Structure 1
Amino acid sequence: MRDVVDENNRKATESVRLGNWNEQYSLGVLYRPPNSNSNIWDLFSESVDKALDCNLPIFLCGDFNCDMMSNSSNSFKKLLNRLNLENVVWESTNFTTQTGTCIDLCVTNRKNLIKSVTVLTPICSSHSPVSVEISFKTFKQHSFKRQIRDFKRADYEGLKNQLNDTDWDDVVFNSNNINDVYMNFVKTFESTVNRYIPTKTITVRPNDKPFMNNLIRNKIRHRNRIHHKAKTSNNPDHWKKFREIRNEIISLVRKAKDDYKCKLTSQLIDKNIPPGKWWRIAKSVSNFTKNRDSPPFLEHDGQIFIHPLDKSEILNNHFADIANIDIEPEIPDNNEPPPCHLNKFVITEKEILDQLKILNVNKPAGPDGISPRILKEVASFISKPLTK
């Protein structure tokens, strides 16, 4: 939001965009001077329209000098209704010796996020502080364990010999049901792979930086323990040890960042890298993000429209006028089966082998859990049973 000024060039609103891990929102602080003319509401409407184009929750708080509990605020209530905004304060906030008025407001386009509203006791003026509690849920991804293949310890020669000695007709093709044949093949192949390619358990930490490693994590834990000990004892030796470990961590983090950047650079200049992976790395390095902000305004019939509802209505009418809906042809009433039937099809061993050889080993495993890297490595030993 930009600043709104009144007829005397006095500032009326200021806003800032805030956010946590999962949410962003705009918070505006507004002051409307008493006895202001209607021009300030036009400026207010224009400013709010631009803020709404950001598609963020908006909270406008301050002294509006417009009593929501009297009929004098009907025009302001209509303005809020047009902007799809709601006031959540409906108690007297400004008190005199005889009356109380509701002029310190909180206006929002996401009333469902308001958890509670409390009008507190006045402290140093006739205005009561208004406490508004906003509910924003943060979702933190926790670390989890995962099993992966340890290909560095794989015995490919033993795996190939075992697959070559397997009697596929006896253990797989002992049924006429295609589903049973498939399950027999998967079970036989997985049991053989498990014997020659071991697995290992890793810890996946989604919230970690990509350059983080176990050495830095251990040093951070050590630093935290020494820091707690130094605060408790206030021993100069403990503080000296803490500073030494802290400086060591800073050096390790800088080196890890440099190594990570060098790794990304080497991947970018690799001619064999897939295009999709190249673009992902390039975007992460350059911090390039696509601008998804809505257009600021829409001009139609010589008028400029800012509100999203007005813009959507104009666009809807435009495309509805130019759309030509073709009349669908009638479906013939023909119940006769097609003359051609696919009784059988022939797949050669070479075709299977060619498809296995071009598998991308960087792709994850499919629903059956079989890695493309393993299929490509033993392609010549499983291509024959896969043709049956």
Structure 2
Amino acid sequence: MGKAGWVTSRRPRYALFTPQLTMAKLVNKGENHVKSVLQLAKHSFINRKCQYLLNSNSPAYDLWHLVKNISNNFTSSSFPPLFHPDGTTAISSVSKAELFSQTFAKSSTLDDSGLVPPSPPPSDYFVPTLKVLYYDVFHALAGLNLGKAYEPDGVTPIVLKNCASVFALCLTKLF
């Protein structure tokens, strides 16, 4: 075996035990421990919520109560307050929508001289009744990709996937 076989590190042997390196190893070990504890706590919380929903007398009510708590009662807006040209502030979603509409209408280059586009002829096609089955909803939720981002409602794919049996029952009853 040549000289290269004996070399295990480019640092001198005494440099492997410097206080900075030892501290870095301790910090890294601590970070890894914190990550594992958080992961265990998260899984434990999700499993407790799933068990609570499974054992509940009214799973639909408890499900929507949980969803509302997660998503802040669906009242938080992702748009900050907007300002009208006159200086007033648009806070509600309706006033923000009106402000966007007015802004886009002013900057539009479309000809709106009052011409109405022709209406399409009536269709002979009708939409059949839609049947939502527990099995289909369960497999759709259980097959979610956990690497995908979650929606603005704050419900992560891992919660939907782990609680698929409870959510599927509630969603099937809704539809």
- Structure-2-length-normalised TM-score: 0.41
Q: 1 or 2, which has the higher helix percentage?
A: 2
- Structure-1-length-normalised TM-score: 0.20
Which protein, 1 or 2, shows the higher relative CO under an 8 Å CA cutoff with sep ≥ 6? 2
Q: 1 or 2, which has the higher strand percentage?
A: 1
